[in-house]
Amino acid sequence: MFAYFSTTKQTLNFQNVPITLLRRFSNNNTTRTGNPKVNERETKSTNFNLEVKKKTRQKNPIPELRKPKKSPKKAPTFQSIELSPPTEILLEGIKNGNRRMLSKAITLVESELEKDQKQATNLLTRIIEERRAKAQTDPNSINTFRVGVTGSPGAGKSTFVEILGTILCNQGNKVAVIAIDPSSRKTGGSILGDRTRMTKLGMHENSFIRPSPSRGIAGGLSVHTSDQILLCEHAGYNVIIVETVGVGQTEVSVADVTDMFMLLISPGGGDVIQGIKKGVVEYADMIVVNKCDGDLIQRGKMIQYEYKNAIHLLGHQMGDWIPPVLTASSLMEIGIQEVWKKALEFKQHSKENRLFETKRALKRKNEFWKKLYEFLKMGLRRSETTMDLIQKLQSLVEKGVISSRQASSDIVSQIFHFM
């Protein structure tokens, strides 16, 4: 082929020639040495490096120069947190089951003072350390059950919790009730009347009742509900009942901190279509039609039948668990023990399917993000430079100069430098 190219005096464009063909030409020593001018013209026109270098692997003769193998990473070790003397006294009182010390510890956790928050963080860290060490030596020593009770206002939540708690205390259980009361958006105050309502349960030696303000947090819970649960469990209470505010269909935050989510329905609370809308019902592990006494017995049974038929349309996060729909009367103390029996069946079912600890781990992760957002907001309020910027942009938003979206984006850009 080279002879043909040289005699026809045509300019050959090697840019479109396959590289495999060029390599074949480069290996033909006879043709390349036969016409050196053509070879020189080829080299100038193609700009291909036709030399093929064979890569050879050479073993390192000196073993010392080889990179050492990475040693496996060691598990992180945690150092014990030192507490201040007053906080150490609180911790000892909690472990001894002192209800007064437990109340003080919850007040410390709820405090917004910076010095109290540091001590509260150290206290909770020590409690987690002690519980982890205790669980390693005896896994069955920590066996608590967290039950969330929610429902619309007037469903009889407080009366139901009092009767259920009293029955459990009489059976030898230690019951802690965390009752969330609504806070005023105008003054920020709360009546905290659930402690006054549950007089019978409050007098029992195995009970502990702690009303807490919601402080305007949506979802029916307080900011520190999970911390309160941890303190109560460390004090020896094996049944923790969380009673929510009771605000409507979106009140599902209690499902993020409890093992079982119980929904109370009043027989006069509307039709079943209102109840099965995507909202609180699809999170419920059990539905209790409360106040089924007197003239409302027949109405309650009809609501129970309707919900049993409708619950199959919603499904459940545990797959094969079908949320039971029961009737009860807190006033007449009818059906309460049957409700608790079903609750224990749910606990056993979730443990047998290895979902009990999995759900708790997921709840701890969700709680982490909630705490992170809360502490970020507190950090913004404590920074004078950031608050000056926020107030300036807030003034522009109020005057309609910029949008709230633009102001928020500018604040985030100024703080985190990533937008």
Q: What is the 3-state secondary structure (H, E, C) of 54-108?
A: CCCCCCCCCHHHCCCCCCCCCCCCCCCCCCCHHHHHHHHHHHCCCHHHHHHHHHH
Q: Is the pTM of this model over 0.85?
A: no
Structural domain contains residue 51: no
pLDDT tens digit string along 314-354?
666 666 788 999 999 998 999 999 999 999 999 999 988 88
Cβ burial, residue 263 (10 Å; 0-12/13-18/19+): buried
What's the confidence (pLDDT) of residue 315?
64
Structural domain contains residue 66: no
DSSP character string of 108-154: HHH---HHHHHHHHHHHHHHHHHHHHHHHH-GGG---EEEEEEE-TT
Question: Is there a single domain that holds both residue 26 and residue 148?
Answer: no
Structural domain contains residue 103: yes
Using an 8 Å Cβ cutoff, are 258 and 241 in contact? no
User: CB atoms < 10 A from the CB of 188, how many?
Assistant: 10
Question: Is there a single domain that holds both residue 104 and residue 247?
Answer: no
Question: Is there a single domain that holds both residue 345 and residue 370?
Answer: no
Question: Is there a single domain that holds both residue 199 and residue 244?
Answer: yes
Helix (H) / strand (E) element for 261: namely strand 260-265
SS3 24: helix
pLDDT tens digit string along 265-299?
888 765 555 555 556 777 889 999 999 988 889 98
CATH of the domain at 284: 3.40.50.300
Question: Is there a single domain that holds both residue 225 and residue 332?
Answer: yes
pLDDT tens digit string along 68-126?
555 555 545 555 667 788 889 999 999 999 999 999 999 999 888 888 888 999 999 99
Question: Is there a single domain that holds both residue 339 and residue 367?
Answer: no
Question: Is there a single domain that holds both residue 167 and residue 133?
Answer: no
Question: Is there a single domain that holds both residue 200 and residue 93?
Answer: no
Structural domain contains residue 68: no
Structural domain contains residue 200: yes
Question: Is there a single domain that holds both residue 36 and residue 151?
Answer: no
Question: Is there a single domain that holds both residue 88 and residue 160?
Answer: no
Question: Is there a single domain that holds both residue 279 and residue 401?
Answer: no
> Which of these three, 122, 137, 152, is where a domain ends?
137
Range of the domain at 390: 363-416
> Amino acid identity of 267?
P
Structural domain contains residue 351: yes
Q: Tell whether the model's pLDDT for residue 195 goes beyond 80.
A: no
Give the pairing of strands 175-181 and 239-243: parallel
Structural domain contains residue 63: no
User: CB atoms < 10 A from the CB of 343, how many?
Assistant: 20
CATH of the domain at 110: 1.20.5.170
Q: How many structural domains compose the chain? A: 4
Question: Is there a single domain that holds both residue 286 and residue 402?
Answer: no
Q: Tell whether the model's pLDDT for residue 4 goes beyond 50.
A: no
